[in-house]
Structure 1
Amino acid sequence: MSVAETVGVELPYLRRYARALTGSQSSGDTYVRMTLEAALIDPQLLAEIGGDRIALYRAFSKIWSTAHVDTAHPGGDGSMHEQAAQDRLAQVTPLHRQALLLTTLEEFSLTETANILGIDEDEAGKLVARAIEEIESETTTDVLIIEDEPLISMQLEGLVSDLGHNVVGTAATRTQAQEAFAKTRPGLVLADIQLADGSSGIDAVEDILKFGDVPVIFITAYPEKLLTGERPEPTYLVTKPFQESTVRAQISQALFFGSSRPIG
């Protein structure tokens, strides 16, 4: 596969990973752009990226670990929240978060994750374990689930409850989501895109965000509808069918950063 083909296929997912890692679309996209610019300058790096997606993520990891991106952009979308996310990141070592996101969100094996991060497989496993410990210590919050498939809704309820959070409502339509949010004012929302009556989970979330900023994790079989690059995109996005560990990782990220990027 050529470099252009590799980047074309993987770019939406690399951008998703970068957003989850940094907590904002603008800073995540900046790191991705710096990675591609570095590849254009370095022929060897460019050749490696043409080989497989692991090389692309490895190149990104090098940029992430060595470059500094100022995420405070006055007048930009969500600038105050981006700065807050960066302040939180400054207090922790981000390597274990990378390992967790690579193995869950991006579904790399421990061997592949170790390759990307430039560490051995045993250390990669330890990083993931430490990240999971951090998830378990997160402060509990109230959660609203917007999902029209009963079995998936029940699965998410069980997962959220097992993590120690409180499910304060479920909704299968846009109208139900509006009513549930107004009544419960949760600290986190898990949302599907296509809802029972043909209404849109995207529209439901836009309605919710008018009440105030709240972390939102989209869980959908149609991620391409949100990864278009044509408008601000959600930071937290999980593809169906999902692994429970992936949802756990995204819940941790969302609560860690404490805000959600606008989607429209």
Structure 2
Amino acid sequence: MNAVTQGELLRTLPFARRYARALTGGQARGDALVAQALRAGLPSDVPVELALFAGVSRLVPDSSGEHISAKQRQLLLLTALEDLSLTDAARAIGTPLPQARQMLEAARDALRAVAATDIMVIEDEPIIAMDLRQLVEACGHNVVGIATGEAEAVAMARALKPGLILADVNLGPGGDGISAVQRILQEQDTPVIFVTAYPERLLTADRLEPAFIISKPFEPMALAIATYQAVSGGIPLD
């Protein structure tokens, strides 16, 4: 491992875990990728705040993919989900900046051409729910229902069988978003994206953790790439 201190590593670890899970499409595969990066030793050719992102990124084999290559997905996730500059994202994946810029522009264009899916939203705040609907529809998807509480969410998912669920964590008096999703997943295998202002609270290893997490507030591109990753199943590692 390079000169990354334990404190620096602990600060970036939750976000590197979120990135790895979104990249691979699942909790177990993402966490295994982070562990592999730590065992292999982190790159020394990037700043310490990028070392864990770089270690994870460089273990993923590049592939063309059906719509977007592995490196393009990495750039999308690092810039849109983790809010890195394109310069830092390019350094993390080990790609020259001009090439990374071209790859990112092509990836954004490809996202707009991806087939739409039916999305169910779990959100108790009406204004936020309306904003989410507008963002989802702007990405080309269709909102088939909005649930405001845990019981309603379970019943709605059972009836609608959505292609993707976009869920808030805290539903106020209506219950808990993670609990609602756990109940839904007992009946159907549906990709889920959680939306929260405190993503690090969902990455503590204290309870069952989601594979896809978006920080509030977020840009439409973050939702677009998270949706694509969730529906497509992430990057195969072998």
Residues 3 and 190 (structure 1), Cα distance of their counterparts in 2 relative to 1, 3 Å cut? same
Matched, 1:132 2:108: yes
Please tell me whether the aligned partners of residues 67 and 114 of structure 2 are also in contact (alpha carbons under 8 angstroms): no
Matched, 1:180 2:156: yes
Question: What does residue range 56-135 of structure 1 map to in structure 2 within 5 Å?
Answer: 56-65=52-61, 93-135=69-111
Percent identity, please: 40
- Counterpart CA distance in 1 for 2:112 and 2:191 is 18
Aligned-residue offset at 1:48: 6.2
Count of aligned pairs: 232
- Counterpart CA distance in 1 for 2:15 and 2:200 is 10
Residue matched to 1:22? 24
1:257 to 228, 233, 236: 233
3-state SS, counterpart of residue 63 of structure 1: coil
- Counterpart CA distance in 1 for 2:89 and 2:4 is 22
Deviations 1:6-63 (A, max 9, x none): 11111111111111111122222222112111228xxxx4x667x5211332232223
Structure 1 residues not aligned, in runs of 5+: 67-85, 259-264
3-state SS, counterpart of residue 160 of structure 1: helix
Q: Which has the higher relative contact order, 1 or 2, with Cα contacts under 8 A spaced 6 or more apart?
A: 2
- Counterpart CA distance in 1 for 2:97 and 2:125 is 38
Return the TM-score normalized by structure 2: 0.87
Return the TM-score normalized by structure 1: 0.79
Please tell me whether the aligned partners of residues 144 and 188 of structure 1 are also in contact (alpha carbons under 8 angstroms): yes
Aligned-residue offset at 1:91: 9.0
Matched, 1:38 2:14: no
Please tell me whether the aligned partners of residues 148 and 174 of structure 2 are also in contact (alpha carbons under 8 angstroms): no
Residues 202 and 166 (structure 1), Cα distance of their counterparts in 2 relative to 1, 3 Å cut? same
Residue matched to 1:7? 9
One-letter amino acid matched to 2:144: V
Please tell me whether the aligned partners of residues 150 and 174 of structure 2 are also in contact (alpha carbons under 8 angstroms): no
Structure 2 residues not aligned, in runs of 5+: none
Matched, 1:165 2:161: no
Residue matched to 2:197? 221
- Counterpart CA distance in 1 for 2:97 and 2:45 is 21
Aligned-residue offset at 1:109: 0.4
Alignment root-mean-square deviation, CA: 2.5
1:155 to 128, 131, 151: 131
